[in-house]
Amino acid sequence: MSHKNKILVESSGLCVNFPVKKDALFSKPKYLQAATDVSIQIHRGETFGLVGESGCGKSTFANATLGLLKPSAGKVLFDGQDINELPTQQFREMRKRMQKIFQDPGSSLNPRFTVFELIAEPLVIRGGYTLSQQKEMVVRMLESVGLSEADLYRYPSDFSGGQQQRIAIARALILRPEYLVCDEPVSALDVSVHAQILNLLMDMQKKMGITYLFISHNLAVVKKICDRMAIMYLGKVVEYGDSEKIFANPLHPYTKALISAVLSIDVNSDQKRITLKGDVSSPINPPVGCRFCKRCPAARADCETEECKLTEVEPDHFVACRFCC
């Protein structure tokens, strides 16, 4: 493994558009802009949080960094190489260094596979492991995620959601990836097992030095486990950088509203909760200017027409708002 690059994953100007069905035969083709001009750097070994409300393009961005989606514009660099420019064979090699944990563990595990087959699948695909090697590795992995050898030949439907997610984690980590996308890894699970799964993820990170892209709705969780973070709104990054700095000094009105919503649960806090009015605009025809302007408490007349670029206000703290910088 090369540790030359401090930056493991980098997106620059990344846009992902999905074509939308036309309403009339000759109307202009329309696109849903799921991610627009996203430029983020994820450092090696850190946990990078990605926050935003449902439908703002978090999964889209994550899938684009994994090469599961082709960007409409912009680049994704993994360890310094553009993943969309690589020849197929090399890209396949590279993919083994990235993995993903899905939101719903039930659907990410083939119900016809046994636990052994599930966890060993990446090894089988990669090839070059004997059956006994596979078994040894699977058992070791299984034990490190808190399951036992006795579970080896059971089917995923025999397990609870939390246990299924453990299996998914074991499977994702068996090839010792460098980059792991956790797409809301706990939101489909019982609240009672959230902490267990998160602790497991953190333990594994400590042991293996993996870089996480951690997607979540839950700011409290992000605050606790993430080193750096980005907040997205309607496909755009509104604030990005060191998470301590962002939590200590949120600048974008949207970030402020999100954080105040979490902090207002704290009774001792004297901060007033900022409530947002209005609905999220449609990603099909987003506002030309700031995408948040329709709901922004601090919006001014020209916000609708003039776009704000991400600007660095302090070291490793970027904001896309013309009035907060």
Partner 1 sequence: MKSKVENLKILKNKSGAFVRKIWKHRQGRIGMIVVLLLVLTAVFAKWIAPYDPYDVTQRVDKGLSPSLTHLLGTSITTGQDVFSMLIYGTRVSLSVGIITGLAIAVLGSVLGVAAGYLGGIVDMVLMRIVDIMIVIPTLPLTIVITNIFGHSYVVIVLVFVLFGWQSLSRVVRSQVLLLKNSDYVKAAELAGAGKKYIMFRHILPGVSHLVVMNTALTCAGIMIAEAGLSFLGLGNPTAISWGKMLADAQSGGSMLFGHWWTILAPGIGIFLSVFAFMRLGLAIEEILNPKMKRKSGAYVMHRQLNHRYLEEVFQSMNDVETGGTADE
Ligand X SMILES: Nc1ncnc2c1ncn2[C@@H]1O[C@H](COP(=O)(O)OP(=O)(O)OP(=O)(O)O)[C@@H](O)[C@H]1O
Per the CB < 8 A criterion, the answer to whether 288 and 36 are in contact is no
Task: Give the Cβ contact number of residue 265 at 10 Å.
Answer: 9
Round to whole Å and give the CA distance between 154 and 166.
14
Q: Which of 3, 22, 70, 92 binds partner 1 (CB under 8 A)?
A: 92
Q: Rule CB under 8 A: say whether 171 interacts with partner 1.
A: yes
The dihedral through the CA atoms of 107, 186, 180, 233 has a sign that is positive
CB of 239 to ligand X, least distance (A): 16
Look at residue 89 and give the partner it binds from Mg ion, ligand X, partner 1, none, a contact being a CB closer than 5 to 8 Å depending on partner kind.
none
If binding means CB under 6 A, how many residues of this protein chain bind ligand X? 12
* Least CB distance to ligand X at residue 169 (A): 19
By the rule CB under 8 A, 115 interacts with partner 1: no
Phi-psi region of 278 (alpha: psi -120 to 50; beta: other; left: phi over 0): left
Which residue's Cβ lies closest to ligand X? 59
Closest chain position to Mg ion (CB): 59
Q: Which does 11 bind (CB under 5 to 8 A by kind): ligand X, partner 1, Mg ion, none?
A: none
Contact 117, 177 (CB under 8 A): no
Tell me whether residue 54 or residue 130 sits nearer to partner 1 (CB atom): 130
Tokens 């620059």, residue located: 12
Q: Does 155 bind ligand X (CB under 6 A)?
A: no
Residues 171 and 159: their CA atoms lie apart, in Å, by 15
**Residues pairing with 78 in the sheet:** 9, 81
Binders of ligand X among 281-310, rule CB under 6 A? 283
Q: Cα(186)–Cα(198) distance, rounded to whole angstroms?
A: 8
Give the number of C-alpha atoms closer than 13 A to the C-alpha of residue 212, restricted to the C-beta side.
Answer: 30
| 32: contact with ligand X by CB under 6 A | yes
Count Cβ atoms below 10 Å from residue 271 Cβ, excluding itself. Answer: 11
59 binds ligand X (CB under 6 A): yes
Residue with tokens 């449902």, as numbered in its chain? 54
The correct pick among 59, 65, 108, 216 for binding Mg ion (CB under 5 A) is 59
H-helix or E-strand spanning residue 40: strand 30-43
Least CB distance to ligand X at residue 154 (A): 30
Beta-sheet strand order (sheet of 236-242): 98-101, 179-183, 211-216, 47-51, 228-233, 236-242, 317-319, 311-314
- Single out the residue of 53, 75, 121, 193 in contact with partner 1 (rule: CB under 8 A): 121
And the tokens for 61? 């961005």
Residue 117: contacted member of partner 1, ligand X, Mg ion, none (CB under 5 to 8 Å, by partner type): partner 1
Q: Contact between 18 and ligand X (CB under 6 A)?
A: yes
Q: How far is the CB of 162 from partner 1 (least distance, A)?
A: 17
Binding site for Mg ion (CB under 5 A): 59
List interacting residues with ligand X (CB under 6 A): 18, 32, 34, 52, 54-60, 283
Residues in contact with partner 1 by CB under 8 A are: 66, 68, 92-93, 95-96, 98-100, 102, 104, 107-110, 112, 114, 117, 121-122, 124-126, 130-131, 168, 171, 175
